[in-house]
Amino acid sequence: MKKIMLTLALAATTFSFAQQLESKIPANAQAVISVNGNNVFDLISLTDFDTNALGKEMIKEFKRENEDFNGLADFGVDLESKAFYFYQPSDSISYHSFILKIKDRKQFEAIFNMSSKNEIVKQGNVSSFTDHNTAIMWNDNILLFIGGDKSYSYFDEHKERLMGEFGGDDQDYYDVKKVVVAQWISNYSSKIFNYNGASILSNKNYVKSIDKNAEASAWINSYGELMGGVMGGLSYYMGGIRPDYTSLGFGTMNAHLYFEKGEAKITTNMEVDDTWKKAIKNIYKSKIDQSFFKYFNEKEIIGYTSVAMSTEAVLDEYPNLISQIYGGMLPDFKEEMEVGAELFSVLIDEEAVGDLITGDMLFVLNDLGEKEVTYTTYEYDDDYKETEVTKTKTEMNPEFTIMVGSENEKLLFKLIKLGVKHKALEQNANYYKLNLPNKTPFDLYAVIKDEIVFLTSSEKQLANIISPNPVSFTGEHKKLIRKNAAVMYLDVKKLLAKIPSEDLRRDEKKMFSFASDNINSVHYKTGKMKGNSMVSEFVVDTADNRENSLKVLLDFMDFMMK
């Protein structure tokens, strides 16, 4: 019972301290990134990191300042606690802040060299160190590190005022800017270190996004505002143009990183306004047509990309979305955008285009073969006389198939007839061959069947497509494609096995060798709308014999740095 109570007390202490760190993050922070040290070091040990090539390099650098530094544990920071980064922009300086838990203050202070130690200012229990664009503050429990990026446009616009307030007769503006930035960053760091106002924990969207199972998480309060701040800072290089991104309709966004046995995974979730919700639901309301899977053999693919959308809905929603996006970004041209969008809607027959190209698309990489090609080169004799020579060489020959849905075969055949007439296509019994430039490393064949336009570079796939009984095999990938709006998949092992090693550089051979032994496949998927949220996921499927995917990543860095 005592052990249980002790464990609960320890867990409560860790959680409450994480909240103490978060309480230093203002409620109006634009972005927050957290790393859950407890989860990370459940997957790997400190020894795993210290003996890794990256860890050894870090130890080597810190050892120059402190010869007693022998590993990450000597940094003086509680690595098993949560650590936070947050971003808070202003019109003059964008602040990047890091907050960590101090475990051993003496160990941390030992990292500073003698020159830096002489610049440390101590007031009561708080120590601080300030450079021209960074500030560090700490006590026995908390470490705060802040860096700042100045806005060039702000400092150009306020040059006269700032020179009057901070400059002297013998100072140039470059030195004055350094003084101003250093002072403002120092003031900001003191404000954050002693902050007791409304914190990020009062933001319901942020609290809702917290996932204790993630190794790392990122949260953005408003994607539109963040983009507006970033691009606003670039207006100095854009002739003073300041695009307004706040009316784009993109809201809160969060992402989580997980390292599990068998896979590493990143999930993202972005909230959109009702205009985007309606448009996206309309565009991705359908599933890819079942007829596509009559020609899809999961056993014979290296990778694929699928999209299931309505072209008619895209064209129907396009004018409103373009008007909202660019009319919001460039408010001075809003009327022009609206007129252009209306003209587009008048000129385009959405239903007719939607019949011609439904929006169902599937690209399949079937194989990577080799093809012998001829090429012309020149040889020279002892008198440097040039002779034209024809040689042969072997090149990679991608075998792929593209499938595009169409419900207007009548118009398609008219277009193909014109292609044959103008010798862009060669007609065969039940397929067409495209007349491509001679240097193209593959042939391309076209077939129209089952309301699908096929383009393939593979004679094997061509034979299967035109067969009255095509061979197919579907399973997990069909489910993945049918369930999501878009999917990208790559069988890494199959792909690497097809690439000749003699064509690779030494570093490429190392990378390919490691990937082949440790990574099975990767895939990215974008799901249907859930409420007002767009959800996507990126997954790296790792070897079953590895303890967890974080160790795979750590070993990869070690492998590549040696």
When mean pLDDT is compared over 44-58, 199-213, 355-369, the highest value belongs to: 199-213
- Please say if the pLDDT value at position 213 is more than 70: yes
pLDDT (tens digit per residue) in 533-549 = 999 999 999 998 899 99
Report the pLDDT value the prediction gives residue 219, as an integer from 0 to 100.
97
Q: Which of 355-364, 367-376, 388-397 has the highest mean pLDDT?
A: 355-364
pTM: 0.85
Mean per-residue pLDDT, 87-103: 94
Task: Convert the pLDDT of each residue in 489-528 to its tens digit.
Answer: 999 999 999 888 777 788 888 888 889 999 999 999 999 8
Q: Per-residue pLDDT tens for 4-33?
A: 333 333 333 333 445 689 999 999 999 999
Average pLDDT in the chain: 85
| Token pair belonging to 225 | 């505002």
User: Could you report the per-residue pLDDT of 110-155, keeping only the tens digit for each?
Assistant: 888 767 777 889 999 999 988 888 999 999 999 999 999 998 888 9
pLDDT for the residue 105:
94
What is the CA angle 187-193-199, rounded to 5? Answer: 110
Rounded percentage of the chain residues whose pLDDT exceeds 70: 87
Q: What percent of the chain has pLDDT over 90?
A: 48
pLDDT of residue 183: 93
Mean pLDDT of 214-243: 71
234: left (phi over 0), alpha (psi -120 to 50) or beta: alpha
Residue 41 contacts residue 50 (beta carbons within 8 Å): no
d(CA 193, CA 293): 59
DSSP assignment of 209-253: H--TT-SEEEEES-HHHHHHHHHHHGGGGTTT-----TTS-EEEE
* Helical (H) or strand (E) element with 434: strand 432-434
- Report the C-alpha gap between 249 and 321 in whole angstroms: 10
Per-residue confidence band for 3, with pLDDT thresholds at 50, 70 and 90: very low
Most confident of the ranges 248-262, 422-436, 477-491: 477-491
Phi, psi of 538 (to 5 degrees): -120, 125
Contact 252, 278 (CB under 8 A): no
pLDDT number for residue 345: 62
Whether 176 contacts 163, CB under 8 Å: yes
Model pLDDT, residue 436: 87
415-449 burial code (b ≥16 CB/10 A, e <16): ebeebeeeeebeeeeebbeeeeeeeeebbbbbbbb
More confident residue, 344 or 130: 130
pLDDT score of 244 more than 70? no
Which of 39-53, 337-351, 428-442 is predicted most confidently? 39-53
pLDDT given at position 313: 85
Query: Which pLDDT band, with edges at 50, 70 and 90, does 253 fall under?
Result: very high
Q: Does the pLDDT of residue 274 top 90, yes or no?
A: no
Q: At residue 458, what is the residue type?
A: S
Residue that wins the pLDDT comparison between 517 and 245: 517
Residue type, 422: H
Question: Which tokens in the block code for residue 345?
Answer: 């809607």
- CA-wise closest residue to 201 among 15, 22, 29, 30: 22
